[in-house]
Amino acid sequence: VPDTTPYTVPDTINGCAPQPLTFLDPTTGSNSWNWSFGDGESAFIANPNHIYLYPGIYTVNLNTGMAGGCTQNFEPYAIVKIDSFIIDDSQIIQNSDCPPFQFSFSNPTAFVSAYYWSFGDGNTSDLASPTHSYLVSGTYYISLALTMENGCIFYVDDTVTVGYPNPLFVSSNRTCLGDTIIFSLTNPAAFDSITWHFGDSVFSTQFTASHIYDSIGNYYPSAVLIDTIGCLYTYDYLDVITVRDPIPDFTISPNDTACDILNATFNNTSTNALSYDWDFGDGISSTLFSPTHLYNVPGNYNVTLIAKNTGCQRTLTVQNAIVIHSATANFNYTQGSFCLPSGIQFNDSSINAVSWYWDFGDGNTSDQQNPYHTYQEIPWGPVTLSIVDNNGCMASTSQFLNFAITEIYASDTIGCAPLTIDFSSNISNALAWTWFFGDGSSSNSQFPSHTYVNDGDYDVTLVVTYPQGCNDTVTYDDLITVSTATALFNSPTVSVCSPSEVFFVNQSSNATTYLWDFGDGITSTEFEPSHIYNVPGFYTITLIAYSQYGCSDTLTLSNYIEIPGAFAQFNYTPEIGCETFTAHFNDLSINAIAWSWNFGDGSTSAAQHPSHVYSDTGSYVVSLFVADTSNCTSFISLPIQVNFNYFPVAHGVTLDTGGCTPYALSFFDSSSTNTASVIW
């Protein structure tokens, strides 16, 4: 429901451009608003804000809407008057040429009720025409706030340049100790004289001066200048000059000299540095403060450290900072004979060795530099020389001596008889070779071949005769193994009725595994198996015997097992009649001479191919028992299903029994279900 309270247009709203205003919705329950501010702008919210940018008189209208379609219009809502003033520029007059510089300020704008001056150096004034003195040269930003008689406030800005902006120029404010810094002016033509103060008690009267600081630290330079009209100026350099001097230095722990390998830690003792570059002299570098580095190659290494600080750097290189020593052990020998006893002269050829320790490999040792040693037996180990050199480093080396140590080689060591073996040895400089093959045979060939015909293990011996007149004999025990296997078996029951279990007796020798074939497609790997034969006949038995080395022997006994006896089998042909069932039985048995039938309904027969009439339907089990000439018997039973075809019983029905001629009737057959055809 619209508010019907009469709306009173407020008094004219006065303001100065730019003038911000907030308008309030005078209605209750409105849900839409359309404001028109009179300057071409509009708004569609309840309480909008609006800024009037230009002087003028503006009519504000408002149209509102409510649920249900009710509206209220406020035309006008208000009258807005934005005043306009002419703001003049400020007048600034400099009253003196030398510091301190005095200025007079004024502004001729009319209708001003209050002034507020800000001189840009932190000082202010509320006078209409103030004066102000600047003590320091520079450019200052002047601001004036004018409060008009109607309450509007306007701002006027200006700048004033006092004396000379700081003219000092320095080539670098971050420098390294010993570097030259250039001091100069940006406008030297404005001045007649200058005195530079570098901040370290040193000064210069040159317009362009150079200076080298002789110690690190922060310096604050300044200059005193007299311009061309005689005014005196004092300027401080606006930044600090920092002089840096990084000093690289380091120590090495645990030491700088080692044998073969050194894990060295470089302890950084540099001063005035912020970052570091290390070069360890072996192609490896680091930027860590105090790195650790592993040296494992002998040599002398120069280590370089570069200490840095904000563009300044110094380099320290220590020649031969790391020294890795390595001892080298070596020797040669002169051997008089390959035969024992054998005297050998050992000669040290190590580098800078100062002590020696020899281990001759036979339990004897020496600390001489060039010892002579006689071997009574072949050493079990090499000759080893251990030394200490003049740097305290240790090294060792070993060599095996060449004695008459004979080795026998065989082309094979295990096989089945007959087994042919080719023999050889590692001795090529002998005068004679004599072989003994362990089976009573021998040979004087350097490379003999021998055939073993009997199974067994054989020792092989070789006697070598050397030019020095000594013999070396070597025997390899059980070097050659010759294997054989013999297959043999029998059975205590070679003839028996089926089905019967037949047992086999294994009489093989030198065998470890077996394969039996029972002649009916069945096999076994048992030592002494038994087997059940279900079908009469003659069966050939085969046994393969294998030795532990794979040698085999085969024994086959043809028709060795006889299984006499009949084998019962039959089929039948059913004959179905009306309320009768006749089965014709056909005997298929093997070796049968007598038959005994049981038809499953209490009836029996001794005929070979009987027929039997079943008087009742049902399931029956028919069995046949047969015998052969050896009185071996066999039995089989089969199920039989008996079904009859009964005489059908004719029976017809109709649903209607009377009517007018001509009259049509429908008849339905309701005879027994075994009816095959119907005649009406």
What domain range is 360 assigned to?
331-399
Q: The tokens 């362009």 sit on which residue? A: 208
Measured CA to CA, the distance from residue 53 to residue 626 in angstroms comes to 134
- Which pLDDT score is estimated for 496? 84
Question: Are 475 and 455 found together in one domain?
Answer: yes
Three-state secondary structure along 510-527?
CCCEEEEECCCCCEECCC
Measured CA to CA, the distance from residue 148 to residue 410 in angstroms comes to 129
Question: Are 606 and 661 found together in one domain?
Answer: yes
Question: Are 335 and 321 found together in one domain?
Answer: no
- List strand residue ranges (DSSP E) for 119-240, in order: 124-125, 131-134, 138-148, 153-162, 168-170, 174-176, 180-185, 191-197, 203-204, 209-212, 217-219, 222-227, 232-236
* Total number of domains constituting the chain: 8
pTM, two decimals, is: 0.43
Question: Are 349 and 452 found together in one domain?
Answer: no
Task: Classify residue 2: in a domain, yes or no.
Answer: no
Region 390-398: mean pLDDT is 95
The mean predicted confidence, pLDDT, of the chain is 89
- Which pLDDT score is estimated for 204? 95
Instruction: List the strands of the sheet with 594-598, edge to edge.
Output: 604-605, 594-598, 618-627, 633-642
Question: Are 674 and 588 found together in one domain?
Answer: yes
CATH code for position 516: 2.60.40.10
Question: Nearest-CA neighbor of 257 among 353, 326, 354?
Answer: 326
Radius of gyration of the chain (CA): 66
Task: Classify residue 5: in a domain, yes or no.
Answer: no
Q: What would the DSSP string read from start to end of 18-81?
A: SEEEE-----SS--EEEEE-SSS-EE-SSS-EEEE-S-EEEEEEEEEE-TTS-EEEEEEEEEEE
Task: Classify residue 4: in a domain, yes or no.
Answer: no
Task: Classify residue 293: in a domain, yes or no.
Answer: yes
Question: Are 138 and 102 found together in one domain?
Answer: yes
Residue ending a domain, among 325, 352, 380, is 325
Poorest-pLDDT segment among 152-156, 255-259, 353-357, 638-642: 152-156
Residue ending a domain, among 453, 468, 483, is 483
Distance linking the first and last C-alpha atoms of the chain:
100
Region 479-483: mean pLDDT is 95
Task: Classify residue 412: in a domain, yes or no.
Answer: yes
Task: Classify residue 629: in a domain, yes or no.
Answer: yes
Question: Are 395 and 421 found together in one domain?
Answer: no
Helix (H, G, I), strand (E, B) or coil at 189: helix
Q: What is the pLDDT of residues 506-527, one digit of tens each?
A: 999 999 999 999 999 999 999 9
Q: What is the pLDDT of residues 192-236, one digit of tens each?
A: 999 999 999 999 999 999 999 999 999 999 999 898 888 888 888
Question: Are 434 and 542 found together in one domain?
Answer: no
For 492, phi and psi rounded to 5 degrees? Answer: -75, -15
Question: Are 583 and 668 found together in one domain?
Answer: yes
Question: Are 291 and 374 found together in one domain?
Answer: no
CB-based contact 497:630 (threshold 8 Å): yes
Question: Are 558 and 572 found together in one domain?
Answer: no
Task: Classify residue 1: in a domain, yes or no.
Answer: no
Question: Are 78 and 98 found together in one domain?
Answer: no
Residue ending a domain, among 343, 372, 399, is 399
- Which pLDDT score is estimated for 675? 53
CB-based contact 250:278 (threshold 8 Å): no
Distances (CA, A) of 351 to 334, 355, 368, 478: 20, 11, 16, 50
